[in-house]
Amino acid sequence: MHIIFFGSDDFAAVHLEALLNAGHQVLACVTGPDKPQGRGMKMTVSPIKQIALERQIPYLQPVTLKTIEIVDALKTYEADIFIVVAYGRLLTQEILDIPKIFCLNVHGSLLPKYRGAAPVNWAILNGDKATGVTVQKMALALDAGDIIAQEVMVINDDENASHLRKRMAEIGAQLLIKVLCSHPSGPFKLIPQDESQVSFAPKLSKEMGRVDWYQTAQFIFNQVRGLQPWPGVYTFFNGKTLKLTLVQISIENKGALTPGQVVKTDKYGIHVACLDAVLLIKEVQPEAGKIMPASSFVAGYKIAQGAVLGAL
């Protein structure tokens, strides 16, 4: 099958590699422009462009999809299908109409649940026990296309968004290949989405990462897991930012301490009172520092019972 692949990140790269390894002919890749990153603001290429360079695949890096130049460029390839995975931009109707079959998308949720930019994160933030991956025919409306195939995934209790997303990429790539292999035996079977069951997964923001200790321990536990690797979750100690990178719900009793106060510290980390229970902070990243065991942070900063986290 002749394919044009749209994608931008490591999640998309897993799918592109799977297509190439399965023998599908990728005529071209469409990805974002090179971007400056890091302290030195060095120009970096996307994982998709990197694969294209290594495999000698033509690539396009349009700043916008709303020009006649990109539409004409895509038409010249006469592709059977466009495959879009974590590309980050909406395709116009002109582009959706180009391929001989249609445009296909791999989405990180069980649609119609969690349409939008951050479905993996929101599944964990909301405390879901399961999620999944969907292969859909693309429509002009965001993630609203007919469903071709889905696979359910259990969310492990200790799994954060980064881990889940990596696991989902492998499952999504396998499902994509299975869908494409089924096409020669007949047309794709399309199932319309149930619009009454639609929910959304909007973009994440830095502001979502600040801990409110007056939330439940379960809420903050999900927050830390759901907002990794970006934007990350943080609180304050002695006026400086303290990122929380690994936590679990503690068996300790919060007693009369108010939310944000330290119940105790031990070899496991820092036990902090929340609204209803205690959260154990196991790993932290101090401001301008590296990730470390919370017990090491305690030893260096002499945190005592009753100390308050969260206050600027």
- In this structure, are residues 281 and 272 in contact, taking their beta carbons and an 8 Å threshold? yes
If you search the block for the tokens 């709303």, which residue do you land on?
66
pLDDT at 185: 64
Does residue 170 lie in a domain region? yes
Does residue 32 lie in a domain region? yes
Do 28 and 101 share a domain, yes or no? yes
The rounded distance, in Å, linking the Cα atoms of 178 and 180 is 6
Task: Share the mean pLDDT of the chain.
Answer: 96
Does residue 216 lie in a domain region? yes
Cis peptide before 231 (omega within 30 of 0): yes
Give the model's confidence band at 16: pLDDT under 50 very low, under 70 low, under 90 confident, else very high.
Answer: very high
Do 239 and 178 share a domain, yes or no? no
Q: What is the full DSSP assignment across 182-205?
A: HGGGSPPP-B---GGG--B-PPP-
Q: Which of 63, 116, 64, 72 is nearest to 94 (CA)?
A: 72
The rounded distance, in Å, linking the Cα atoms of 302 and 188 is 63
SS3 string, 42-66, reads EEECCHHHHHHHHHCCCEECCCCCC
If you search the block for the tokens 């030195």, which residue do you land on?
40
The CATH number assigned to the domain holding 243 equals 3.10.25.10
pLDDT at 41: 76
Last residue of a domain, one of 197, 225, 241: 197
Does residue 178 lie in a domain region? yes
- Over residues 214-272, the pLDDT tens digits come to 999 999 999 999 999 999 999 999 999 999 999 999 999 999 999 999 999 999 999 99
pTM score, two decimals?
A: 0.94
Give the model's confidence band at 187: pLDDT under 50 very low, under 70 low, under 90 confident, else very high.
Answer: confident
Do 210 and 110 share a domain, yes or no? no
Does residue 310 lie in a domain region? no
pLDDT at 36 over 70: yes
116: domain range?
A: 2-197
pLDDT at 280 over 70: yes
pLDDT at 42: 85
Query: What would the mean pLDDT of 270-289 be, rounded to a whole number?
Result: 97
